[in-house]
Structure 1
Amino acid sequence: MPRNNTDQIKAILESVRTIALVGASEKTSRPSHEVMEYLQRQGYRVIPVNPRLAGQQVLGETVYADLTSLPEPVDMAELFLAPERTDAVIDQAIDLKIPVLWLQIGVINEAGAARAEAAGIEVVMDRCPKQEIPKLGIAPAAPRT
């Protein structure tokens, strides 16, 4: 299936429940903060990742330094990073076998995406879930039981 296929994006957003948001910010004016808050309101558990804020709280969740520090598995890693800073995080996602890798609007790393896909990870790139959820008519996420 081609990357960023509408059906693929819809299936991802309807199935994931726990998201690691890499590049999380405590600053309310930052897009990563806005998207994290939106995803929480939609019923997703969003775990913030930012080495600068590790151990602090953002939107009621503890911040972790990197994906390898997370206390539980996640369904998706969403990257709010400059493209040149994504390779190490993509490699962590591959090592951890995170099922979905989502690179935010403007975050394009074709080689990293190809590595992730070769490892069996679904990749969405240059899209924003805050835009895709209402566009695709996705209902709020139901909690896992």
Structure 2
Amino acid sequence: MNDREEIRTALETARTIAIVGCSPKPERPSNAIARYLMEQGYQIVPVNPGHRAILGETCYPSLSEIPGDVRLDIVDVFRRSDQVAPVADEAIARGVKFFFMQQGVVDPGSARRLEEAGIPVAMDRCILVEHASRGIPRRNFGPSVER
């Protein structure tokens, strides 16, 4: 868990990042980080049951409601620690490649289940800090829908 090389590999190979708990408010960290990731060339998929679109992207109520043809490489969670378990279960069912719990989000039980399912986890880590500190070049990918 929190292996620096696994984090680097995930960020270098990812195309699409689901932001669970993404806020439409620009002053919120989830929105600022989603914008940063978009500026870095990642496709973001906002997940928030209270909104239809955030940052010009279709917003989904949950991971399970994102269409199956949308590739999800990383799930980044901006939820309270006690709300991670159902998101982790959806990520396992979806077969995502990496699971981030943002700074302050800690759920060892969910982390253990994710890792047992073969999904690496970064817990209590900020995806923006992890990305920026590694000097990973801007991504240049096409659409996230697999064809």
TM-based fold match above 0.5: yes
Deviation of 1:73 after TM superposition, in Å, equals 2.8
AA aligned opposite 1:57: A
5+ residue gaps, structure 2, are: none
CA distance in 1 between partners of 2:76 and 2:131 (Å): 15
SS of 2:7's equivalent in the other structure is helix
CA RMSD of aligned residues (A): 1.2
Moved more, 56-65 or 32-41: 56-65
CA distance in 1 between partners of 2:3 and 2:83 (Å): 25
Which position in structure 2 is the counterpart of 1:60? 56
Which position in structure 2 is the counterpart of 1:82? 80
Query: Among residues 19, 22, 43, which one is paired with 1:21 in the alignment?
Result: 19
**Runs of 4 or more above 3 Å deviation:** none
SS of 1:131's equivalent in the other structure is helix
Which position in structure 2 is the counterpart of 1:5? 3
**What TM-score do you get using the length of structure 2 for normalisation?**
0.92
Deviation of 1:142 after TM superposition, in Å, equals 2.5
Deviation of 1:87 after TM superposition, in Å, equals 0.5
SS of 1:35's equivalent in the other structure is helix
Query: Among residues 39, 42, 48, which one is paired with 1:41 in the alignment?
Result: 39
Q: Structure 1, residues 87-121: CA drift from partner, whole Å, max 9, x if none?
A: 11100111111111111001000010000000011
Aligned counterparts, 1:93-104, within 5 A: 93-104=91-102
**What TM-score do you get using the length of structure 1 for normalisation?**
0.93
Which position in structure 1 is the counterpart of 2:110? 112
Deviation of 1:128 after TM superposition, in Å, equals 1.1
SS of 1:65's equivalent in the other structure is coil
The count of aligned residue pairs is 141
CA distance in 2 between partners of 1:38 and 1:27 (Å): 14
Deviation of 1:144 after TM superposition, in Å, equals 5.0
Is the CA contact (8 Å cut-off) linking 2:63 and 2:91 kept in structure 1? yes
AA aligned opposite 1:123: V
Which position in structure 1 is the counterpart of 2:132? 134
